[in-house]
Amino acid sequence: MKIPVLSFAFFFIAHFQLSAQPAWKIIPPTNDLTYRYALVIGNENYQIYADRYTDDVLHSIYDAEKFRMILERNKLVAKSNISFYPDALSTHIKLMLSRIVKLKSQDQDKIKAELIVYFNGKISYDEKGKLYLVPIDATENEFFFSMSVDELCDRIDDAEIAKAWIFVDATKAGNKKTESLLSSLGEEMIPPGNHKAEINIFLAGSNSIRNYRNALKTEIDKEDYKAPDLIIESPVNEDILGSPECMIYGKATDLSGVFTVAVNGEEAHLNVDGSFSAKTILEVGENSILVEAFDEFHNRSERIISVDYRPEKTVEKTPEESTASFFAVLIGVTEYKDPMVNDLKGPVEDLTKLSQVLNEQYNFKDENIFKMYNATSFDIIDTLKYLEKTLTPDDNLIIVFSGHGVWDEASSKGYWLPADAEAGNNLLWLSNSKITAIVSSLPTKHTLVIADACFSGGIFRTRGLPSGAGMDILQKYESPSRNAMTSGDLNEVPDKSAFMFYMIKYLKENREKFVTAEDFYYKLKIPVMESTENIPQFGKIKNSGDQGGDFVFVNRKTE
């Protein structure tokens, strides 16, 4: 929908304030810096995480560092209250704001907290003109992983901040920034919505656009209690599909505007007219698909449809008859570069033994076993990206990690710590969401992730007994799978790993021809629980394309 220029002049109240005065000059000095905080982000190297970007944002980290030094040297914010993130991931802003929310537990009558946010990097706008700050691990079209200025303002209210300054010294994808907020004040933007906090927003000069949503909402009543009208056009209820990929199409409409549509918790692509589309991966059998629509006032409507996935029949081969290859990526870290991260003794030794067993007793050729001992985050991702290009849909892969793991309560994420991981800085940590994304992109028939680290939580869609438990070996091998097995839940994994000990022991002593990962898990669970306080976990990896099958180990040393 196009809006006449005159209507913007009437509805959108914003003024252009390019001047020689640098943006930071508008922040007033204060005698008490105790409750003034700053979040400073410089996102520069987008291509490291997403090669879909055509360019990086040059000098962003330099500008962000310069802004941080200005705040510190001019005594505008205490050094201890400045959170500085070069190449920030999607969780960093939320983690910083979560820190400020803790002020709620104190006497708010005595606290007048203030917040300064500086973002340098890429920004994006959706169809309604909503402005988003793009993290380093997203693209300009992935609004679900980005943070909108609207959400940032809402979180500032949630934290009961009294006053905030937001400086968006960034550029839209494909554009070059012509003005920097380090040298000019830029354009002032009216904060979207009504807020308790006094919020001041400034954009770099070349980022001036009209905010469609703010312009249109002035024509709408401030209170709206009616949920959006939601129609599912395809598939219809009780459809039977022969493919695991299911496209959902529909339309959502609302007087105050549809804010978002989600399919099974994942944000759908939403067009200006309210039509939407989304892809979801089905499991074998009956699937319930939840579609939700939210308007600008958080009213919600939902529809649930049932879809039956029945795979087309194929000529079945046993794992032994198949011409598929078996690959293994063994990642073991004993030596950490950061002295603040303790070294370990067992991982490399354990994985060396595991490599030998897989090669001598099972269908893993030595050239197909990638031994990544004390590997950096780049080395690990580079190897997995290489396999993404070389593996086939008939191949099978196990990825084993043994080393330090971290569970972050604020973001509900688990992380692997590669050899170059730094304590307190998750820039080089490998999150479960990153591993999940890589696993889902691998063209294998079966992928099994085994983690002897704190890696459970968000990776699993289901834990324990999978839905295909009643299948025989042939069925489990023919149906693609994406499973994970971890040595424990959220407890710290000891240096001497009982999990790795019993895993190697069982593989050596096994005399069965075929062993599924599920059976393997139940063989390990009891002895590990009896010798440690950890409870091993097993389940499907969420949103990865699992179709109910299972990884099958083929033992060559049987009669």
> Tens of pLDDT along 147-185?
888 888 888 887 788 899 999 988 776 555 556 788 777
Mean of the pLDDT values across residues 198-209? 72
pLDDT band for position 274 (cuts 50, 70, 90): confident
Amino acid 461: pLDDT? 39
Distance CA 309, CA 239 (A): 9
Burial of 44 (0-12, 13-18, 19+ CB in 10 A): buried
β-strands 82-86, 36-42: how paired? parallel
CATH class of 326-554: alpha beta
pLDDT score for 216? 39
Per-residue pLDDT band for 523 (boundaries 50, 70, 90) equals confident
Q: What average pLDDT does range 33-48 have in this prediction?
A: 84
The predicted structure's pLDDT at residue 490? 46
Q: What is the pLDDT of residue 495?
A: 59
Name the band, by pLDDT with cuts 50, 70 and 90, for residue 211: very low
Task: Write down the pLDDT at residue 357.
Answer: 93
| pLDDT band for position 519 (cuts 50, 70, 90) | confident
pLDDT at 117: 93
What average pLDDT score do residues 224-245 get?
A: 86
Residue 12 pLDDT level (bands cut at 50, 70, 90): very low
For the ranges 15-24, 87-96, 352-361, 515-524, the one whose mean pLDDT is highest = 352-361
Q: Which residue has the higher pLDDT, 258 or 52?
A: 258
Domain 229-309 architecture: Sandwich (2.60)
Query: What's the pLDDT score for residue 210?
Result: 35
Answer whether 5-217 and 326-554 agree in fold.
yes
- Tell me the range of 225-239, 482-496, 536-550 where mean pLDDT is highest: 225-239
> Does position 470 have pLDDT exceeding 50, yes or no?
no
CA distance 69 to 82: 10
pLDDT value at position 354?
93
- Report pLDDT for 412: 61
Residue 557 above 90 pLDDT? no
pLDDT band at 422 (very low <50, low <70, confident <90, very high): confident
Q: Specify the pLDDT at position 53.
A: 52
Mean pLDDT, rounded, of the chain: 77
445-450 average pLDDT score: 89
pLDDT value for 319: 57
| pLDDT tens figures, 299-352 | 889 999 999 888 765 545 555 555 678 999 999 999 999 888 888 888 999 999
Percent of the chain with pLDDT over 70: 76
Nearest to 144 by CA among 126, 119, 128: 126
Long-range (24+ apart) CB contacts under 8 A made by 314-320 are: 314/478, 316/474, 316/475, 316/478, 317/478, 318/473, 318/474, 318/477, 318/514, 319/363, 319/473, 319/477, 319/514, 319/552, 319/554, 320/513, 320/514, 320/554
Q: Rounded to an integer, what distance in angstroms lies between the CA atom of residue 92 and that of residue 131? A: 18
pLDDT for the residue 6: 30
Task: Give the mean model confidence (pLDDT) for residues 405-423.
Answer: 78
Residues 466/541, Cβ–Cβ less than 8 Å = no
The pTM is what? Answer: 0.47
Across the range 240-244, mean pLDDT stands at 82
Residues in the chain: 559
Domain locations in the chain as residue ranges: 5-217, 229-309, 326-554
Q: How many CB atoms lie within 10 A of CB 382?
A: 12
Tens of pLDDT along 393-408? 889 999 999 888 887 6
Range picked from 51-60, 168-177, 362-371, 433-442 for highest mean pLDDT: 362-371
pLDDT-based confidence at 377, cuts 50/70/90?
confident
* Per-residue tokens: 74: 């001019």
CA distance 329 to 401: 8
pLDDT for residue 498 is more than 90: no
Residue 24 has a pLDDT of 83
Architecture of the domain whose range is 5-217: 3-Layer(aba) Sandwich (3.40)
